[in-house]
Amino acid sequence: MNAAFNSKTEDSPRTSPDVSLEARLEAAARVSAAHFERMLDYLSYLPASDIELVRQAWHYADKAHTNQWRSSGDPYITHPIAVTTICAHWKLDAPALMAALLHDAMEDCGITKEDLADRFGPVVADLVDGLTKLDKLHFNTREESQAESFRKMLLAMAKDVRVILIKLADRTHNMRTMGDMPRSKWGRIASETLEIYAPIAHRLGLNQTYRELQDLSFHYQNPWRYATLEKAITKSRARRHDLVLRVQNEIAAAFDRVNMSVRLAGRESTLYSLYQKMLRHHLTFAQVTDIYGFRIIVPTVTDCYTALGILHQMYKPVPGKFKDHIAIAKSNGYQSLHTMLVGPSGVNIEFQIRTEPMHIVAEAGIAAHWLYKSQGKQESLNTKWLQSLLDIQTETNDATEFWDNVKVDLFPDSIYVFTPKSKIMAMPRGATVVDFAYAIHSNIGHHTVSALINGEPASLRTELKSGDVVQIITDDNATPNPVWLGFVKTGRARSKIRNYLKTAAHSESMVLGETLLTQALREEGIAAIPANDEANQPLWNAVLLKANSPSREDLLTDIGMGRQAAGWVARHFMALLASQGQRPDAVLLSQERFASSSQRSRSTVALDGNSNASVRYAACCRPVPGDAVVAYLGRGDGLHVHNAQCINAKRLQATDSERLVPVEWAEDSSQKLYDSGLSVTIHNQKGVLARVATELSDANVDIRRLEMDDEAAMQTTELRFIVSVHNQQQVEAALRSLRRIPTVVRASRILPLE
Ligand code: MN
């Protein structure tokens, strides 16, 4: 472990409170300069011009944090400098180091993103802004699955991996200096580190940071237990010192004999991982510390396997403990050969064998990308993961795009949004409000009418972004809109909507089919559809066979959809009944054929204003209650209701009268709203349109759409409105008041006549 990593960065003297402010600030400036100078030692990998930029960022941050102090009493600026120093160990580039110096400036000092962009350019400003946004997220639920989502959300929200790295450096320094914080805060901060930040470090392969964060968290969560374990381990190390030395010498000698230059390092587990092992496997301290670890770093990949062979000759391997993580790297890029051997005096020894690049990746993970770049020795790259990182980098040369590409590898392309109760939901990128509604529950999805995103009204097709708080507003009467299928992203929403529409269309069509078949049967002198009971089973079977329908429901649905003619089915019923000796009801026959329409109403289709899969109102004439109407049974798409005067209806009557179905308005049909088309011709004068609109609104008529000719030269203009009304009376009243306007030449329904 690098010594500088371990050193407490906040070691400056505390100023005593009785010193005047001026003297305190002077002292602080000296401390700041001293810390900055010390950090410069780690920046030798940067060109002088970059170091100058970093210095400017420090000056700016130093000024911004003037007279701000850490809990320890240190000038606040020592914290950003320490965070930057950690970033310098990863050899991050100048913009990242500048952002690290400025990372608390926006939040604490009233500096805006624009200020930073003006001064240091958009890249630095974006990085600092990204960090400030992450700071606003607080994790406060105990649920394990939520922790996982929160981690992913943090990663997904950061547009640039440098933001995550600086954030981890920030958290690392805060954990190192937590002793200065009030004890009451230790528990919360430590568990947040353990649940969120340590796993993120692990996911990105920053194993050294991962171990340090875990150990520090353990230290502050369980100070007493930590101290006990620490004492015990120091003792046991002293006891086993000779043994470790002996193994070390034997290995060194063995590799010397084959002329392989290896680097050998002892590997010590952190107290946290020892403690976890004891808990998980119910082991005693002696049992867990009885395992020793060595790390062997060799020149080439082939040497890894050679080294393995040498070790297996020296000591007996423990069966089942060999793992080849070189051939199959871990998802965070980690590569090594692992084996366990029985060493001198029967002590188990774990070995990790790897090359130098593998070692860098194993310790620094994604930061290896910068570490490697700074060394400028690409030819020795032999880890695939690192190579792929560098490939992406050379292909894109854009940090944002680079991170986007890496993210795809790290986790599925997801976004993370909140319910109003702060539950985190993972959604695929591009998911909309409707997808979210269905993800909560299909009943919510089916009844969604609108939504608030972060408290603002948003359309249902709005794509969600990570961090959005989404509230769905439902209405029990609302149903899924087929339009949704055009924009939903998730398979779940799609299949739920489809299924709903299919079922709804099916049952609506079946009801219509029943009415139509009853109508047709009555015209043949049969009062009702034969019951679906045992006695009628042979009759139904014969009809279904003839109609090639699998079931009674299917037959009725087909009739309702217009795929099967009701008259044809009725005639088959009649023929079958006649062959059984049944005769048509003569009274019914004459009634049906000669009675007035009001007496037939029992078998006509009632229009209740619900436009659905089996009934739709024709867009050419837009009938409303009160209009005389006719209905045409389309082929496979249900009833089309036309105004009786409509030219299209008349044509259908002439050519396809078989498919006309008697319909009438239901008694309560005026309670619904209907679209109606109005044509209003006006003299071109200022304010006419406004006058027309006012008149319509006074008549309680809502305008849903307006079209007009764009010919300013003409004396008159035709306005075409689609309005929303309850019935014919209301339309006529509105037209009357429009005609009273002097500048209105003509006002009428839009109705294609001859
Ligand atoms: Mn900070």
Cα 83 to ligand 1 centroid, rounded to whole Å:
8
Beta bridge partners of 617: 641
What proportion of the chain, given as a percentage, has pLDDT over 70? 84
Confidence of residue 331 (pLDDT cuts 50, 70, 90): low
Spacing, Cα 15 to ligand 1 middle (Å): 21
Confidence label for 599 from pLDDT (cuts 50, 70 and 90): very low
User: What percent of the chain stands above pLDDT 90?
Assistant: 25
CA distance 37 to 343: 47
Give the pLDDT confidence score for residue 63 in this predicted structure: 92
Residue 441 Cα to ligand 1 midpoint, Å, equals 40
- The mean pLDDT of 116-120, rounded to a whole number, is 94
Q: What residues form DSSP beta bridges with 394?
A: none
Model pLDDT, residue 107: 77
The rounded Å distance from CA 170 to ligand 1 centre is 5
* Helix (H/G/I), strand (E/B), else coil: 14: coil
Residue 15 has pLDDT above 60, yes or no: no
- For the stretch 506-520, pLDDT in tens is 777 888 888 888 888
Query: Which of the four pLDDT bands, split at 50, 70 and 90, describes residue 438?
Result: very high
Give the relative orientation of helices 586-594 and 491-523 as an angle to the nearest 10 degrees.
Answer: 110
**348-355 and 292-298 as β-strands: parallel, antiparallel, unpaired?**
parallel
CB 661 within 8 A of CB 523: no
pLDDT of res. 399? 47
Token duo for residue 195 = 């649940």
Describe the crossing of helices 223-257 and 271-281 by its angle, rounded to 10 degrees: 100
Q: Residue 607: name the closest of 564, 688, 666 by CA.
A: 666
Residue 234 has, within 13 A of its CA and on its CB side, a CA count of: 6
Å from CA of 207 to ligand 1 middle: 21
CA of 421 to the centre of ligand 1 (A): 28
Query: What's the gap in Å between 25 CA and the centre of ligand 1?
Result: 21
Q: How far apart are CA 643 and CA 650, in angstroms?
A: 10
Alpha carbons 331 and 204: distance in angstroms, whole number:
9
Q: Is the pLDDT of residue 442 over 70?
A: yes
Asked whether residue 126 carries a pLDDT value surpassing 70, the answer given is yes
Token couple for 239: 């006891």
Distances (CA, A) of 420 to 134, 155, 173, 433: 19, 22, 33, 14
Sign for the pseudo-dihedral over CA of 41, 46, 52, 54: negative
**For the chain, how many residues are written?**
754
* Across 311-339, average pLDDT: 82
* Residue in 11, 108, 180, 702 annotated catalytic: 108
Q: What are phi and psi of 464, to 5 degrees?
A: -85, 150
CB 156 within 8 A of CB 414: yes
pLDDT at site 233: 85
Å from CA of 77 to ligand 1 middle: 10
Higher-confidence residue: 705 or 614?
705
Pick the more confident residue, 575 or 392. Answer: 575
Per-residue pLDDT tens for 382-403?
Answer: 345 455 554 544 444 444 544 5
Q: Which residues are found with C-beta within 5 Å of the ion, ligand 1?
A: 104, 170
Instruction: Work out the number of other CB atoms within 10 angstroms of the CB of residue 477.
Output: 7
Q: How far is CA 119 from CA 46, 84, 115, 162, 592, in A?
A: 20, 19, 6, 20, 89
Residue 265 and residue 297 in contact, taking contact as beta carbons nearer than 8 Å? yes
Q: What is the pLDDT of residue 152?
A: 61
Ranges of H-type helices in 137-160: 144-157
CA 722/CA 731 separation, integer angstroms: 11
Q: What is the pLDDT of residue 734?
A: 93
Does residue 663 sit in helix, strand or coil? strand
Nearest alpha carbon to residue 134 among 200, 82, 75 = 200
CA of 169 to the centre of ligand 1 (A): 9
Half-sphere exposure at residue 35, Cβ-oriented, CA atoms within 13 angstroms: 28
Q: Cα(410)–Cα(392) distance, rounded to whole angstroms?
A: 14
Give residue 331 CA to ligand 1 midpoint distance, Å: 29
Closest CA to 82 of 27, 133, 42: 42
193: DSSP letter: I
Cα 606 from Cα 559, distance rounded (Å): 17
Closest CA to 468 of 429, 497, 442: 429
101 C-alpha vs ligand 1 centroid, how far in Å?
9
37 a catalytic residue: no
Distance (angstroms) between ligand 1 centre and the Cα of 131 equals 9
- In this prediction, residue 39 has a pLDDT band, given cuts at 50, 70 and 90, of very high
Nearest to 151 by CA among 128, 172, 168: 168
- Residue 82 scores a pLDDT above 90: yes
Least confident of 141-150, 306-315, 326-335, 609-618: 141-150
Ligand 1 center to residue 79 CA distance, Å?
A: 7
Cα–ligand 1 centroid distance for 50 (angstroms): 23
What pLDDT is recorded for position 144? 54
- Name which of 456, 457, 427 is nearest 440 in CA terms: 427
Whole-number pLDDT of residue 2: 33
Q: Ligand 1 mean position to 132 CA, how many Å?
A: 10
Assign residue 259 a region: left if phi > 0, alpha if psi is -120 to 50, beta otherwise?
left
More reliable by pLDDT, 19 or 670 = 670
Phi, psi of 576 (to 5 degrees): -65, -40
- Angle between helix 207-221 and 356-364 (nearest 10): 40
What is the four-CA torsion angle of 269, 274, 280, 285, rounded to 10 degrees? 140
Other residues' Cβ atoms within 10 Å of the Cβ of residue 742: 9
CA distance 163 to 184: 29
Output the CA 167–ligand 1 centroid distance in Å: 8
Active site residue 256: no
pLDDT at position 592 is: 64
Confidence band, pLDDT 50/70/90 cuts, at residue 260: confident
In the prediction, which pLDDT does 713 show? 60
d(CA 746, ligand 1 centre) in Å: 72
The overall average pLDDT reported for the chain is 81
Could you tell me the distance, in angstroms and rounded to a whole number, from the CA of residue 214 to the centre of ligand 1? 19
Q: What is the DSSP string of 59-85?
A: HHHHHHTTT-B-TTSSBTTHHHHHHHH
Per-residue model confidence (pLDDT) at position 435: 94
Q: What Cα–Cα distance (Å) separates residue 186 from each residue in 194, 214, 222, 366, 394?
A: 12, 14, 10, 29, 43
pLDDT of residue 447: 92
CB atoms within 10 A of CB 485: 14
Cβ atoms of 545 and 503 closer than 8 Å: no
pLDDT band at 5 (very low <50, low <70, confident <90, very high): very low
DSSP string, 550-565: SSHHHHHHHHHHTSS-
**Nearest residue to 506 via CA among 705, 121, 315, 514:** 514
Region class of 344: left (phi > 0), else alpha (psi between -120 and 50), else beta? beta
The pLDDT assigned to 176 comes to 96
Could you report the per-residue pLDDT of 45-75, keeping only the tens digit for each?
899 999 999 999 999 999 999 989 998 889 9
Confidence tier at 418 by pLDDT (50, 70, 90): confident
Query: Which two tokens mark 133?
Result: 């946004």
Q: What is the CA radius of gyration of the chain?
A: 40
Q: Residue 359: CB partners within 8 Å, gap ≥ 6?
A: 295, 297
Higher-confidence position of 101 and 523: 101
Q: In angstroms, how far is CA 610 from the centroid of its own chain? A: 35
Interval between CA 135 and ligand 1 midpoint (Å): 9
Residues 6+ apart with CB under 8 A from 632: 639, 640, 642, 649, 652, 656, 659, 660, 661
Q: Distance, CA 82 to ligand 1 centroid (Å)?
A: 10
One of 107, 143, 698, 707 is an active-site residue; which one? 107
- What is the rounded CA–CA span in Å between residue 392 and residue 624? 63
Alpha-carbon span 634 to 560, nearest angstrom:
10
Predicted pLDDT at 379 = 36
Min mean pLDDT across 200-204, 367-371, 668-672 is at 367-371
pLDDT band for 11, please (50, 70, 90 cuts): very low
Ligand 1 center from residue 1 Cα (angstroms):
24
Return the pLDDT at 626: 92
Average pLDDT over residues 604-630: 81
Residues 680-694 have pLDDT tens digits of 988 877 777 778 888
